[in-house]
Amino acid sequence: MQEKHHAEYDVQRRARAGSSAVLRALVAGYLVYLAWQILRNVRSGETTMTPAVAYAASAFFLLAAAAFAVYLIRRWRIETEAARLPESDEAEGSGEDET
């Protein structure tokens, strides 16, 4: 029976990866918010933009948010993997004490 081994991470590097991911998520969320605001203003008639331009701008912001979300996930995985500490020699020792 094989024992589950949990990877250990450099705490600072992993925290930095998490902080970066949160900031990137906020940027992606803000892009979605901008797209929603443009659409809301077009529907209520509170904008001077033509509907075609407004829909195109909203689509652009939504695509940018989606691309940024994909980038966020990829970078988080890369940064988290980089924070992983090398395997220790515990597997070689099998718990036996060498004295």
The first and second tokens of residue 24, run together, are 């990137």
Beta bridge partners of 9: 84
Query: Could you tell me the residue ranges of all domains in the chain?
Result: 11-84
Which phi-psi region, left, alpha or beta, contains residue 10 (left: φ > 0; alpha: ψ -120 to 50)? beta
Q: Over the stretch 21-71, which tens digit does the pLDDT of each residue have? A: 999 999 999 999 999 999 999 999 888 899 999 999 999 999 999 999 999
Q: What is the pLDDT of residue 57?
A: 95
At residue 46, what is the residue type?
Answer: E
